Amino acid sequence: MQTFKHVNISKLKEVTAGSFDLLTSLVEMFKNQAPKFHDQLQEHLNNHEFTLLAKLAHKIKGSLSTLAITELATKMKTLERVAKTNNIENNAQELINEYKQVSQEAIVELDEIHEIFKNSMI
């Protein structure tokens, strides 16, 4: 089975229970949400809206976990935790930047996985 840098394909297969329709839905939803989530994270940080930042990081963490993007989900858990303490100035921006970069890379991987799944090669 092919491996990917960000997406755990075995876990994703398990989550989708082999359903191509479910995979399609999850991938499309993430592709639409990821850029918006980044903009919202940045806005909450810029406006010092730490409670909203923590809530959004929690929501993103769940989405990433569902898509088996586990390392980035862990980073969002860290962002959620530090936002709750209001002590986020040092690494919050770094975590948000990482979310943007990794989510873009994960979208490419998810598209590739989607094609592989469609062709029943997994």
Instruction: Dump pLDDT digits (tens) for 26-55.
Output: 999 999 999 999 999 999 999 999 999 999
What mean pLDDT, rounded, does the chain reach?
93
For the whole model, what pTM was predicted? Answer: 0.91
User: How many structural domains is the chain composed of?
Assistant: 1
CB atoms closer than 10 angstroms to residue 20: 12
Helix axes 92-118 and 20-46, enclosed angle (nearest 10): 170
Nearest to 67 by CA among 14, 116, 120, 119: 14
Examine residue 1 and state whether it is found in any structural domain, yes or no: no
Q: Is the pLDDT of residue 20 over 80?
A: yes
Examine residue 62 and state whether it is found in any structural domain, yes or no: yes
- DSSP at 3: -
Instruction: Dump pLDDT digits (tens) for 94-117.
Output: 999 999 999 999 999 999 999 998
Do the Cβ atoms of 54 and 83 come closer than 8 Å?
yes
Examine residue 2 and state whether it is found in any structural domain, yes or no: no
Q: In which domain, by residue range, is 24 found?
A: 9-118
At residue 87, the pLDDT reads 74
CATH number of the domain at 55, please.
Answer: 1.20.120
Tokens of 54: 């923590």
Nearest to 57 by CA among 33, 40, 77: 77
Examine residue 4 and state whether it is found in any structural domain, yes or no: no
Q: How far apart are CA 49 and CA 32, in angstroms?
A: 23
Give the confidence band of 2 by pLDDT, cuts at 50, 70, 90: confident
Give the confidence band of 89 by pLDDT, cuts at 50, 70, 90: low
Examine residue 37 and state whether it is found in any structural domain, yes or no: yes
Do the Cβ atoms of 6 and 69 come closer than 8 Å?
yes
